[in-house]
Amino acid sequence: MKKLLLIAIIISVTNVFSQAKKPTIMVVPSDDWCTQANFMKSYENQGEIINLPDYNKALQENSDLVSVISKIGELMADRGFPLVDLKSQLDKIAKDGARTNMIGVNESPIDILNKTAKSDIIMKVFWKVNTQGPKKSIEFRMQGIDAYTGKQVAAASGTGPQSFSAEQSVLLEEAVLSELDNFNSQLQTHFDDLLSSGREGALVLLVGEMSETNFNTLYTLKGKEASLKDIVNRFWMPRNTVERRFSMDENSENVLKFSQVRIPLYGDDGWGGQMAYDYATWGGNLQEFLKTELGIETTIQTKGLGEVEIILQ
């Protein structure tokens, strides 16, 4: 009887861990790989020239990249990580002309890609083939980047054993297998923190040129008079962040900036159900609050996945 009970407990625990929610992954080549392979492109963003990877060109012209992304994706999928395909997301953006018009205004092409894909983790992969006579080995580096903050949350690197194989995907698999489980463990630890402590991002509120109000203007909310600044900082933010976790970085009559803003991964869809939350949705809730409770009209825009900007009209 005790043995049967022990087996039942083991099965139950195994099921819980096997059903643990995992972060979605999008595999891309690293910036330095794109630089070395001449797959970079210059963009003008609000008067500033920036160099960014040209993933479209890389996928079209480098067959090794396609096989490497496919192999890494296969290895991650085998371990239960949901995948977002890079090429399909680029195709989706290309078909959406409205998005391309945003380039140079507020978002870079990478911001647009991240916002379209909505993956939790950007997995950047670098590799280089080393040759010694007929034998080859592959040097690799993998970085797990939080798509919302741009922060590195997992890393692995190494050089695989020498092999007579000519296929880079085979060499890569031989090289990364010994490091992959530790890498995935780092990803899962980060994602578990997001589930419990909320997703991290930023909020910026600005006073528009034509606005007749600023953040020192007094309003009455629930019978108490306070500045708009205090209403946002002391009333709305604590009630709409996980464990009241946020930092105010700038505080003036025309600008409020918040960083390390933690929002839940899931929230009310408006009809009593649950939906995945991002900063556009969360910022929309603040926009609705300002209009409904204080009569303030605003516009809202996002930068990538992890930053929302609200402008008072």
Q: Domain segments of the chain: what residues?
A: 23-196, 198-312
Task: Tell me the one-letter amino acid at 61.
Answer: E
- Evaluate if residue 1 carries a pLDDT over 80: no
Distance CA 105, CA 246 (A): 27
Q: Which residue has the higher pLDDT, 154 or 99?
A: 154
Task: Tell me the one-letter amino acid at 108.
Answer: S
Report pLDDT for 156.
97
Strand ranges of the sheet holding 121-132, from the earlier edge strand across to the other edge: 25-29, 121-132, 135-146, 152-159
Distance CA 6, CA 10 (A): 6
Distance CA 221, CA 282 (A): 21
Q: Say whether 86 sits in a helix, a strand or coil.
A: helix
Query: By the 8 A CB rule, do 123 and 28 touch?
Result: yes
Of 272, 251, 248, 243, whose CA–CA distance to 260 is shortest?
Answer: 248
How much is the mean pLDDT over the chain?
89
Report pLDDT for 7.
36
pLDDT digits (tens, 9 = 90+) for 55-77: 999 999 999 999 999 999 999 99
Place of tokens 């900036």: 257
Task: Give the burial class of 1: count Cβ atoms within 10 A of its Cβ; 0-12 exposed, 13-18 middle, 19 or more buried.
Answer: exposed
Report pLDDT for 11.
33
- Evaluate if residue 263 carries a pLDDT over 90: yes
Q: What is the CA radius of gyration of the chain?
A: 23
CATH 3.40.50.10610 for domain 23-196, yes or no, is yes
Distance CA 306, CA 109 (A): 15
Distance CA 160, CA 140 (A): 8
Torsion of CA 260, 301, 299, 264, to 10 degrees: -40
pLDDT digits (tens, 9 = 90+) for 156-194: 999 999 988 768 888 899 899 999 999 999 999 999 999
pLDDT digits (tens, 9 = 90+) for 214-250: 999 999 999 999 999 999 999 999 999 999 999 999 9
For residue 126 the two structure tokens come to 């670098």
Q: Are strands 135-146 and 218-221 parallel, antiparallel or unpaired?
A: unpaired
Taking residues 274-279, report their average pLDDT: 89
